[in-house]
Structure 1
């Protein structure tokens, strides 16, 4: 009877899907915002591990895990969930998280998005990927589909959890019946981090590609190279109209670089981009997202 009462109380005290979605969005902003900050200050792990193996990795995942574990330990909720006043509890009993569940939650909150982001980035930048990478990406597709199904069941109040991970951990989100008990300094520190959430959102907006293009970008389009500025060797190999500046052949699948405006063959510019990460003529840093396919009419 007592267990059934706890389950009913949890079901009546769970938040809406909109609050859960907002909390997840805020959690997903931590990693990219920290990445931008650490990249600006040049903070990375860079050391030789063994033989020719060298570790060159960012600190963002580690700091993200520490932040999430701190919130789970102090408030039984992630950074985003705490910001929206939510709390993780055991579905059957309504009890707070155990130490093992805190560790598992922090690890899953950090590790799964990190692995998915790395796999998608590698898949976009490399033509050939390992079979296990493709299988992992397919597993993430299955997980996202399963999460969508759980969200729908949660929305119609058929399920007690909105996510397959919560179901596997036997947890649910609810409003806390009483405010968390914490000392003054812990409260001030966590409250300061919550205030910084607004800055996380601002950093993510500032560095988003769409917003940078709306603002005109941080780089000005380069002026066309004048004939007098070209070396004699370059003048002899300068492409004619309709030719690719890289292979000097007729353009195949014309693709423009949004940063510089120069047009290349799709295969040529992608191959060059993977090796150098810049426009061949202007040397401006570019990514695959800066390439625009040109369709002739």
Structure 2
């Protein structure tokens, strides 16, 4: 009887893969949401280090790390895991995180997604990438495949942890048998941060691709320029049909801007977008998602 009760208690303490996935999703919202807020206010590191080396980096990863470490130290769980009432414990003993495990967990939670996002962004923008960057991208592919295998094994109850990182650190996610012990002000502060989770979700939704396209779609597209209404000297400077409005040469790898409808060379519009963030003809804000390659048949 006692054995059966113990088994039941252990099973009740094991979260489902859906709860774990929800916690991971919330953790993954922190960095992009903070990035949008900081970009809006223009908050980022930008200073000259030495020589021609200049540091231009976001503050979001640093603040994300501090937030995650605060939760791991006080509640032995990440921001998302704490929101869903989960706790990181040692697989064999059930003990809470040690100080090195707290530091390692916060670092992996913050910088692995950050590095992966940066590498994929450089690759998507067809920037010149180094060999080690391609190697790292392949490592992330292998890690994601390994995580999928671990998730499936956890789903069929053949693994004690859902992630290879948890297995490497000998940790697992469980529901705590008793609420965490913390002072009143720490409890109030962390609760206020959890309320911000809804704000983070709203920020991410607002800046999602679908919503951005809806907002962009409400912009009135500019009418085509009528040559007869322009002075003769201006007409001579306009690009001819089949030529790029930026370089005024025949189109190379034609790419359309979905916001304005104009067609440019791929390299020309990418360079202009990185520098100005707008369509060069209409000055509407654009991003990489607004560029569409045109394939001739």
TM-score computed with the length of structure 1 as normaliser? 0.90
- Greater mean deviation of Cα atoms: 61-70 or 211-220: 211-220
Deviation by residue 1:4-32 (Cα, 9 ceiling, x = unmatched) = x9999656521000000000000000001
User: Structure 1 residues 39, 271: closer, same or farther in 2, change over 3 A?
Assistant: closer
Partners of 2:248 and 2:48 in 1: CA distance: 41
Corresponding residue number in structure 2 for 1:94: 94
Q: Which residue of 2 aligns with 1:158?
A: 158
Tell me by how many angstroms 1:154 deviates. 0.5
Matches of 1:224 and 1:56 in 2, distance apart? 39
| Residue 219 (structure 1) shift | 4.5
Equivalent-residue separation in structure 2 for 1:280 and 1:181 (angstroms): 58
* CA displacement at 1:256 relative to structure 2: 1.4
Change (3 A) 1:233 1:119: farther
* 2:107 counterpart residue number: 107
Aligned to 1:179: 179
SS in 2 for 1:159: coil
Give the aligned partner of residue 67 of structure 1: 67
Q: CA deviation at 1:247?
A: 4.3
> Which blocks of at least 5 consecutive residues in structure 1 are unaligned?
none
The structural deviation recorded for 1:38 is 1.0
Q: Distance in 2 between the 1:7 and 1:61 partners? A: 41
Instruction: Indicate the residue corresponding to 1:49 in structure 2.
Output: 49
Give secondary structure in 2 for the equivalent of 1:210. Answer: helix
Q: Which moved more, 1:221-230 or 1:23-32?
A: 221-230
8 A contact 1:7–1:91 mirrored in 2: no
Going from structure 1 to structure 2, the CA distance change for 1:46 and 1:275 (only over 3 Å counts) comes to closer
Q: How does 1:1-297 map to 2 (within 5 A)?
A: 13-217=13-217, 219-227=219-227, 233-274=233-274, 276-294=276-294
Matched residues in 2 for 1:265 and 1:47: separation?
Answer: 33
Structure 2 distance, partners of 1:234, 1:264, is 20
TM-score, normalising length: structure 2: 0.90
Pair 178,73 (structure 1): closer, same or farther in 2 beyond 3 Å: same
CA RMSD of aligned residues (A): 2.5
1:103 positional shift: 0.6
Q: 1:12 to 1:262 in 2, by over 3 A?
A: same
Q: Deviations over 1:134-192 (max 9, x none)?
A: 10011000000000010000001001000000001000000000001111111111111
Distance 1:7 1:109 in 2: 31
